Amino acid sequence: MLVIGGSSAESLASKVAESLGIKAGALEIRRFPDGEKYLRILSEVKGENVAVIQSIHHTPDELLFEYLLLTDALKDLGAKKVTAFVPYFAYARQDERFKAGEALSFRTVGKLIESVGTDEIYTIDMHQHRVVKSSEVFKIPSHNLSAMPLLAAYVEKLGNLEKPLVIGPDAEAEQWAKIAAERLHTDYDIFEKKRLGDANVQVRPRRASASGRDVLIVDDIISTGGTIVEAVKILQSQGARRIQVACTHPILAPGALAKIYDTGVQDVIGTDTVPSPISLVSVAPLIAENVKRNGG
Ligand code: R5P
């Protein structure tokens, strides 16, 4: 069994390999003078079950292409099985034709990943608003794991919220709010969200009031921070006390974190599916557990 991390997940792959007691596979990746990418696999892969870890964030086209080069080469060099672990799966938000003529990017990326011989794929809290099952995108076996149990355990250990109200800022976030609320032995609610543009959202409360309560907001992605800021404004207007935010994927577009801290939020916590200054929780144990279960 071999674990190989692409350039977006080298450190994550080392952690996963270490916890499994195996060595991470090695790659040489560089650019030719004309900008093309060079990739060489330095480990013996013939007959191996290989887990490839590659998060596709920030420079998604480049990292996706690197994944395609790597997996195609692995299969060509005789790897028995390649399982993709894609902690952050870019393009999942373009899962529908919102305007006539738009590319269905989510499906295109799915097809590309399959086209190089990927045998199975694991994602983590992949954005699934309109697509509700990953099998709608992949023909190969697919699994969408959640990092929320790890995040909730971290928040519980921090211990600086008193029986918090857990809030999911939109309908999709209910699944994460439920997990966190169960772990923290408390209640949860979700807001209603309407997206007005790439960086503009409108958020409305439903039932629960945060008056006099500590609050934990949970979501899959923080990108521009707009969703969290709007949710915080509502919670503050209701009289919330300490507010903490936890997300799986801290994409953090420029200025997003400052915008959130400017509202007075005390802690913003993310995972290392996307390395960032708030990536305080590692998804390595989650990936390692599934690599082990899957046999590579
Ligand atoms: C979208 O529905 C997701 O679950 C997140 O709420 C969203 O991607 C966050 O984006 P932003 O930080 O730009 O509001």
pLDDT of residue 202: 82
Best residue among 222, 259, 265 to mutate for probing ligand 1's pocket (most ligand atoms within 8 Å of CB) is 222
In this structure, are residues 274 and 223 in contact, taking their beta carbons and an 8 Å threshold? Answer: no
Ligand 1 center–CA 47 separation, angstroms:
41
Which ligand 1 atom sits nearest the alpha carbon of residue 226? Answer: 14
**Catalytic amino acids?**
193
How many CB atoms neighbour CB 59 within 10 A? 13
Q: What pLDDT is stored for residue 296 in this prediction?
A: 62
| Closest C-alpha to ligand 1, atom 10 | 223
Helices (H) and strands (E) in the chain, counts: 8, 15
Q: Point out the ligand 1 atom lying closest to the alpha carbon of residue 198.
A: 13
Query: For the chain, which ranges sit under pLDDT 50?
Result: none
User: 272 C-alpha to center of ligand 1: Å?
Assistant: 17
pLDDT of residue 207: 73
Q: 142 C-alpha vs ligand 1 centroid, how far in Å? A: 23
In this prediction, residue 92 carries a pLDDT of: 93
* Residues within a 6 A CB radius of ligand 1: 169-170, 172, 201, 219-227
The amino acid at 198: D
Q: Which residue spans within 198-286 are E strands per DSSP?
A: 200-204, 215-222, 243-250, 267-271, 279-281
User: Are 148 and 181 spatial neighbours (Cβ–Cβ below 8 Å)?
Assistant: no
pLDDT of residue 193: 80
The pLDDT value recorded for residue 203 is 78
**Residue whose CA lies nearest to ligand 1 atom number 1:** 221
Whole-model pTM?
0.94
d(Cα 194, Cα 132) in Å, to the nearest integer?
19
